[in-house]
């Protein structure tokens, strides 16, 4: 299509040159008008404007073509200026003018201007014209005013497929996929057949609602009508829909069946694996994409950086960083923010800060990512300093930034600072505390031992407590052994989030620490009866750009024999150094000797042993674990860092731990 358009463009320019040299264009309004319209239609607005300016008697045909050209070539403001200029010259707008003026208003989100043009449409009597009416629907959907769009739609005497498609896509883009499906159902009853554009909107709605059954029906319809319905974007939408619905086998089959994959196809599949927790396959597919010569864009980079931070693939992430710089994506603020996030989640806060400092025009998301990074690493004072730096740079903190800084206070135990920020956020920044802010404050108070104060806060907060807030409180009760309030909070979580296994495990562990084995069995029986499963402990460690995964008690790794031999050696050396196992983290009613053996099967110890075998002296070891690190593993890792003279950076489900010279950055506060 682009090649054809360029060919037409070239032929048109030759014809233009011929008209100039032959003198046929001189004082020829008809030919000049046609030529200006030609350039406008090809998107060559600079050339069109030069010819347009030289025409004295401009007719409505010419004005309309110029307005359309600007509106369709990302010059919406110029289209509106030209529209007003047209009216000032006494030309009347018609049903070819208004659709593009309304498009320009919608693209610029000029609500008041759009309404004013709408009133002009009503006065001109063109509101019933189907092209103008469809343009009005599209404009109001861009404004997010779907109520007004629906009212206009219901008043339309005549509707075509574009009318229905505009309503469906409008609801989808304004986060109301259920309404989109309702309109689709009405459309079927009205006797209209869906086209490719309709199906794109419906597949997006299915993806949002995780409506796999309907998505499969649409897929079947597409296959049956493949000759009639040709839309190059449908396959990519189907891949994305299946990924969203966690049906990766279906999406991969579709993806592999596409002969000519474009960048969007690759991005959909890579993002599907990343969002569904299979970061390994995401990275493998990215490598294949590069090897096959597919065009990598900013979306690819952002997705793959997200996959890197899931499995602590720092070295791979650095390679991606190098790739994006070569491609010129470094100046993109979204890519920069993804880099900040990746480096901080992979344990390299210094690289994170370097990227942050290199961003020329920071936005609130970038500041929030940096503050979150400091918080996750337990560097609360630096997080607060970064927050004050943000304010000093004339930024007004939003909900996201305030959540990040409150979370940072929670990780560092900065109770007074956190309470001060929470209490001042409404007064200073007009931000009303939401669930995320209350959750951070409950966590802050609870971790610091102010369990009763946290409970009073939950009872008196202005919004209804969510399951996350009760879960944060439950964790505090476990930490400070408050069984009575733990039972209260656990019951609340069970009611609000019955499928979440974490709270059942937490309550069971609280009972186990009190040796209430009957209650432990009762809770575990509840878990079994609900068909819930605890995720096994899993740790990732990267060596030479290859990420290795270890499960609890894992014996599947090729170097298993060496890993367990190293663990045995470490156990002996730690015992000689005074190590005494803390079996309080083993919540089973078994002998002490069995408990000690179970501790040495923990996944992070296997990962540490593997890294010690396969990296040189002094190399930093970086590990990611999917669960909270237990007390004994925390002690053992501190001792290994001193014994082996290694820095060990461990990220668990809550925060980062930097072990160095026998100490941890968390100060045993986690």
pLDDT digits (tens, 9 = 90+) for 314-369: 999 999 999 999 999 988 999 999 999 999 999 999 999 999 999 989 999 999 99
Residue 421 near residue 388, CB atoms below 8 Å: no
Let me know whether 563 and 659 are in one domain.
yes
Residues 519 and 558 in one domain: no
How confident is residue 176, by pLDDT bands cut at 50, 70 and 90? very high
568 and 520 housed in the same domain: no
- Pair (564, 658) in one structural domain: yes
Would you say residue 622 has pLDDT above 90? Answer: yes
Instruction: Average the pLDDT over each of 158-167, 224-233, 476-485 and give the range with the smallest value.
Output: 224-233
Residue 493 near residue 523 (C-beta atoms within 8 A): no
* 221-235, 511-525, 601-615, range with the lowest pLDDT: 221-235
Note the pLDDT of residue 651.
Answer: 94
Q: CB of 411 within 8 A of CB of 446?
A: no
Beta strands 621-625 and 538-543: pairing type?
A: antiparallel
Q: Are residues 558 and 644 in the same domain?
A: yes
The DSSP secondary-structure symbol of 547 reads E
Q: What is the average pLDDT across 398-416?
A: 95
How does pLDDT run across 532-567, given as a tens digit for each residue?
Answer: 888 888 999 999 889 999 999 999 999 999 999 999
pLDDT surpasses 50 at 294 = yes
Sign of the Cα pseudo-torsion (297, 336, 283, 322, in order): positive
Do 562 and 658 share a domain, yes or no?
Answer: yes
Domain identity same for 300 and 349 = yes
- How far is Cα 500 from Cα 10, in angstroms, rounded to an integer? 63
pLDDT for 446 equals: 95
Average pLDDT of the segment spanning 195-211: 95
Report the alpha-carbon distance of residue 539 to residue 625 in Å, rounded. Answer: 4
- Domain of 521: which CATH number? 1.25.40
511 and 576 fall within a common domain: no
Give 280-290 pLDDT, tens digit per residue: 999 999 999 99
Q: What is the pLDDT of residue 45?
A: 93
- Helix H segments across 175-278? 177-189, 196-209, 212-224, 234-244, 248-257, 263-275
Per-residue pLDDT averaged across 612-623, rounded?
95
Task: Provide mean pLDDT across the span 387-406.
Answer: 95
Is 589 contained in some domain?
A: yes
Average pLDDT, the chain: 92
pLDDT at 599: 84
Q: What are phi and psi of 25, to 5 degrees?
A: -85, -20
Please report the pLDDT score of residue 669 as a whole number: 75
Last residue of a domain, one of 346, 361, 376: 361
User: Is 256 contained in some domain?
Assistant: no
Q: In the chain, pLDDT over 70 holds for what percent of residues?
A: 97
18-37 tens-digit pLDDT: 676 776 667 778 888 888 88
Query: Has residue 539 been placed in a domain?
Result: no
- Judgement on whether residues 513 and 586 belong to the same structural domain of the protein: no
- In this predicted structure, the answer to whether residue 80 has a pLDDT above a threshold of 90 is yes
* Rounded percentage of the chain residues whose pLDDT exceeds 90: 81
582 vs 370: which has the higher pLDDT: 370
- Is 660 a member of any domain? yes
Domain end: 361, 393, 418, which one?
361
pTM score, whole prediction: 0.84
- Any domain includes 164: no
Would 189 be classed as within a structural domain?
A: no
Last residue of a domain, one of 468, 495, 530: 530
Query: Residue 518: exposed, middle, or buried by beta-carbon count in 10 A (0-12, 13-18, 19+)?
Result: exposed
Q: Is the pLDDT of residue 3 over 70?
A: no
State whether 357 and 277 are in the same domain.
yes
Nearest alpha carbon to residue 51 among 94, 13, 77, 99: 13
Count how many domains the chain has.
3
Residue 666 pLDDT: 86
Average pLDDT over residues 67-73: 96
Is 314 contained in some domain? yes
For residue 495, being part of any structural domain is answered with yes
Q: Is 126 helix (H, G, I), strand (E, B) or coil?
A: coil
Mean per-residue pLDDT, 131-155: 97
301 conformational bin, left if phi > 0, alpha if psi -120 to 50, beta if neither: alpha
pLDDT at 474 over 90: yes
Confidence category of residue 306, pLDDT binned at 50, 70, 90: very high
The enclosing H or E element of 437 equals helix 435-447
Which helix (H) or strand (E) segment holds residue 663: the answer is: strand 663-664
How would DSSP label each residue in 629-661? Answer: PPHHHHHHHHHHHHHTT--EEEE-SS-EEEEET
User: Is 489:476 a contact under the CB 8 Å cutoff?
Assistant: no
What pLDDT, in 10s, does the model give residues 512-538? 888 899 999 999 999 999 998 888 889
- CA–CA dist 608, 169 (Å, integer): 51
On whether both 575 and 520 belong to a single domain, the answer is no
| φ, ψ of residue 201 in degrees (nearest 5) | -65, -45
Mean pLDDT throughout 400-422? Answer: 95
Report the distance separating Cα 579 and Cα 581, nearest Å: 7
525 and 561, same domain (yes or no):
no
Range of the structural domain that residue 516 is part of: 446-530
């Amino acid at each position: 299509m682009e090649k054809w358009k360029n060919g037409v463009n070239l032929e048109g320019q030759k014809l233009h040159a011929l008209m100039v040299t032959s003198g046929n264009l001189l004082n020829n309004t008809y030919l000049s008008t046609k030529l200006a319209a030609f350039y406008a239609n090809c998107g060559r607005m600079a050339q069109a404007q030069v010819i347009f300016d030289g025409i004295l008697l401009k007719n409505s045909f010419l004005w309309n073509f110029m307005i359309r050209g600007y509106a369709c070539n990302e010059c919406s403001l110029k289209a509106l200026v030209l529209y007003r200029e047209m009216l000032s010259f006494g030309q009347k707008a018609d049903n070819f003018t208004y659709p593009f003026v309304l498009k320009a208003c919608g693209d610029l989100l000029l609500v008041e201007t759009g309404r004013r043009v709408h009133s002009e449409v009503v006065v001109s009597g063109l509101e019933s014209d189907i092209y103008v009416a469809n343009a009005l629907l599209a404009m109001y959907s861009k404004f997010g005013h779907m109520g007004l769009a629906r009212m206009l739609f219901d008043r339309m005497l005549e509707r075509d497929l574009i009318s229905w498609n505009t309503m469906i896509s409008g609801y989808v883009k304004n986060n109301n996929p259920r309404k989109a499906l309702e309109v689709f159902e009405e459309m079927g009853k009205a006797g209209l057949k869906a086209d490719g554009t309709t199906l794109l909107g419906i597949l997006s709605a299915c993806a949002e609602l995780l409506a796999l059954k309907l998505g499969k029906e649409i897929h079947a319809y597409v296959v049956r009508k493949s000759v009639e319905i040709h839309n190059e974007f449908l396959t990519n939408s189907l891949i994305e829909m299946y990924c969203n619905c966690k049906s990766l086998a279906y999406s991969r089959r579709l993806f592999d069946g596409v002969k000519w994959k474009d960048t969007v196809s690759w991005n959909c599949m890579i993002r599907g694996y990343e969002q569904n927790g299979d970061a390994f396959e995401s990275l493998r597919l990215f490598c294949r994409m590069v090897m096959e010569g597919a065009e990598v864009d900013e979306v690819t980079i952002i997705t793959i950086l997200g996959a890197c931070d899931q499995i602590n693939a720092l070295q791979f992430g650095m390679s991606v960083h190098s790739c994006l710089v070569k491609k010129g994506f470094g100046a993109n603020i979204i890519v920069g923010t993804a880099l900040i996030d990746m480096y901080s989640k992979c344990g390299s806060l210094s690289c994170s800060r370097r990227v942050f400092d290199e961003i020329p025009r920071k936005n609130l998301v970038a500041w929030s990512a940096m503050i979150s990074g400091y918080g996750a690493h337990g560097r609360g004072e630096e997080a607060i300093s970064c927050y004050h730096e943000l304010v000093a740079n004339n930024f007004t903190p939003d909900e996201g930034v305030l959540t990040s800084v409150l979370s940072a206070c929670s990780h560092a135990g900065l109770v007074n600072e956190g309470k001060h920020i929470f209490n001042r956020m409404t007064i200073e920044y007009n931000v009303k505390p939401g669930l995320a802010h209350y959750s951070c404050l409950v966590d802050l108070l609870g971790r610091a031992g102010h369990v009763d104060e946290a409970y009073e806060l939950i009872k008196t907060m202005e919004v209804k407590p969510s399951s996350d807030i009760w879960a944060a409180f439950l964790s505090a009760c476990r930490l400070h052994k408050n069984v009575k309030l733990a039972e209260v909070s656990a019951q609340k979580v069970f009611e609000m989030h019955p499928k979440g296994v974490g709270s059942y495990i937490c309550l069971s562990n609280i009972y186990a620490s009190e040796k209430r084995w009957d209650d432990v069995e009762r809770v575990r029986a509840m878990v079994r009866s609900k068909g819930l499963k605890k995720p096994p402990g899993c740790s990732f460690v990267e060596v030479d750009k290859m990420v290795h995964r270890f499960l609890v008690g894992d014996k599947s790794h090729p170097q298993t024999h060496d890993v367990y031999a190293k663990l045995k050696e470490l156990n002996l050396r730690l015992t000689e150094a005074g190590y005494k196992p803390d079996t309080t983290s083993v919540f089973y009613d078994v002998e002490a000797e069995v408990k000690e053996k179970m501790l040495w099967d923990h996944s992070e110890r296997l990962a540490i042993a593997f890294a010690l075998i396969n990296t040189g002296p002094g190399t930093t070891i970086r590990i990611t674990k999917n669960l909270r690190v237990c007390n004994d593993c925390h002690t053992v890792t501190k001792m290994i860092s001193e014994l082996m003279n290694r820095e060990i950076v461990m990220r668990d489900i809550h925060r980062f731990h930097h072990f160095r010279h026998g100490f941890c950055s968390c100060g045993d506060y986690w």
